[in-house]
Structure 1
Amino acid sequence: MYNILMTILPIANNNYVAFTFFVGCMAMLAASVFFFFEVSNTDKRWRTSVLVSGLITFIAAVHYYYMRDYYLATNTSPTFFRYVDWILTVPLMCVEFYLITKKAGAKIGLLWKLITASVFMLVTGYIGEAIYGAETQSWVWGTLSSVGYLYIVYLIWFGEVAQLANNAGTAVATANKTLAWFVLVGWAIYPIGYIAGTHGGLFGMDVFHGLSLDIVYNIGDAINKIGFGFVIYSLAQSDKPTLA
Structure 2
Amino acid sequence: MSNSILPSVLIGKLLPTDYVGFTFFVGCMAMMAASAFFFLSLNQFDKKWRTSVLVSGLITFIAAVHYFYMRDYWASFQESPTFFRYVDWILTVPLMCLEFYLILKVAGAKQNLLWKMIFYSVVMLVTGYFGEAVFTESAAIWGLISGLAYFAIVYEIWLGSAAKLAKTAGGNVLAAHKILCWFVLVGWAIYPLGYMMGTTGWYNSFIPSGNIDVAYNIADAINKIGFGLVIYSLAIKSQKD
TM-score of the pair, normalised by structure 2 = 0.93
1:210-225 aligned within 5 A: 211-225=210-224
- Counterpart-to-counterpart distance in 1, 2:8 and 2:108: 45
| Matched residue, 1:191 | 192
| Matched residue, 1:90 | 93
1:162 partnered with 2:159: no
Paired residues in the alignment total 236
Q: Write out per-residue CA displacement over residues 24-68 of structure 1, whole angstroms, 9 at most, x where no aligned residue.
A: 000000000000011111232111000000000000000000011
- Alignment equivalent of 2:73, drawn from 70, 75, 92: 70
| Matched residue, 1:59 | 62
Query: Which runs of no fewer than 5 residues in structure 1 stay unpaired?
Result: none
| Matched residue, 1:235 | 234
1:139 partnered with 2:140: yes
- Counterpart-to-counterpart distance in 2, 1:103 and 1:6: 51
**4+ runs of 1 displaced by more than 4 Å?**
3-6
TM-score of the pair, normalised by structure 1 = 0.92
Q: Write out per-residue CA displacement over residues 90-110 of structure 1, whole angstroms, 9 at most, x where no aligned residue.
A: 000000000000121100111
- Alignment equivalent of 1:9, drawn from 3, 7, 12: 12
Query: Which runs of no fewer than 5 residues in structure 2 stay unpaired?
Result: 1-5
Q: Cα offset for 1:127? A: 0.4
- Alignment equivalent of 1:44, drawn from 32, 40, 47: 47
Q: Cα offset for 1:195? A: 1.2
Query: Which amino acid in 1 is paired with 2:175?
Result: T
Preserved CA contact (<8 Å) 2:130 2:142: yes
Preserved CA contact (<8 Å) 2:198 2:212: yes
Indicate the structure with greater helix content.
2
Q: Cα offset for 1:161? A: 0.6
Q: Cα offset for 1:201? A: 6.5
| Matched residue, 2:31 | 28
- Alignment equivalent of 1:128, drawn from 103, 119, 131: 131
Q: Which deviates the most, 99-108 or 70-79?
A: 70-79
